[in-house]
Amino acid sequence: MSSPSSPACTAFLGARRVAFGTYDEVARALAALDLSAGGLLVFDDATGALVDHPWPAGYPSTPVEAPTRAAPAAAPQVGSAALRRLVEEARRSHAGRDGWRQAKERTYRFMSAIAGGFAGFEEASRALFAQDADAFARCIAGWPPDVQAHLAWLARDSFVSEAAPPPA
């Protein structure tokens, strides 16, 4: 299975999940399937966004690293420690809200692409953004089991109360 730093994706043929894991694992699984009938949708697990398949060799199978910026050689260092502390404090204080927002966005992206025409889609969307887990579950209860399961996994941090930030 993929490590947290390895980009992962999930592939569906229609409403049936046919592969999941790192991009390399999914590419190998898809190579063994007959995709001639069409209906293949591949989603990035971190963002919920659709991904074109086939992707270029090696993309994005390497772990994603945060971009680094080189500091200018003659940059003044006065106050940099205090500024770093302020930035880190702001990041910590907004981490919970950012996690909820990202969870809702990735869930909605997937849900829009695969279930936009399903009965209860609009109601499920409203429940997702209202943080109403019970209503969300009721709205998607009649949807195909693989779609329900993937939505539950993508939305896992969407319904956490504001008193307890989602796990990092």
As a whole number of angstroms, the distance between CA 136 and CA 141 comes to: 9
Structural contact between residues 162 and 131, judged by C-beta atoms closer than 8 angstroms: no
Q: pLDDT digit string (tens) for 55-98? A: 766 666 544 444 444 444 644 555 666 666 766 676 565 555 66
> How high is the pLDDT of residue 58?
61
Q: pLDDT digit string (tens) for 5-53? A: 678 999 999 999 999 999 999 999 999 999 888 899 999 999 999 998 8
Task: Report the length, in residues, of the chain.
Answer: 168
Q: What are phi and psi of 69, to 5 degrees?
A: -120, 130
CA 165 → CA 100, 101, 106, 145, 159, distances in Å?
8, 12, 17, 28, 10
Q: Which residue has the higher pLDDT, 139 or 100?
A: 139
Reduce the DSSP state of residue 43 to 3 states and report it: strand
Tokens of 15: 């409403």
As a whole number of angstroms, the distance between CA 143 and CA 133 comes to: 16
What's the pTM? 0.71
Reduce the DSSP state of residue 22 to 3 states and report it: strand
78: left (phi over 0), alpha (psi -120 to 50) or beta: beta
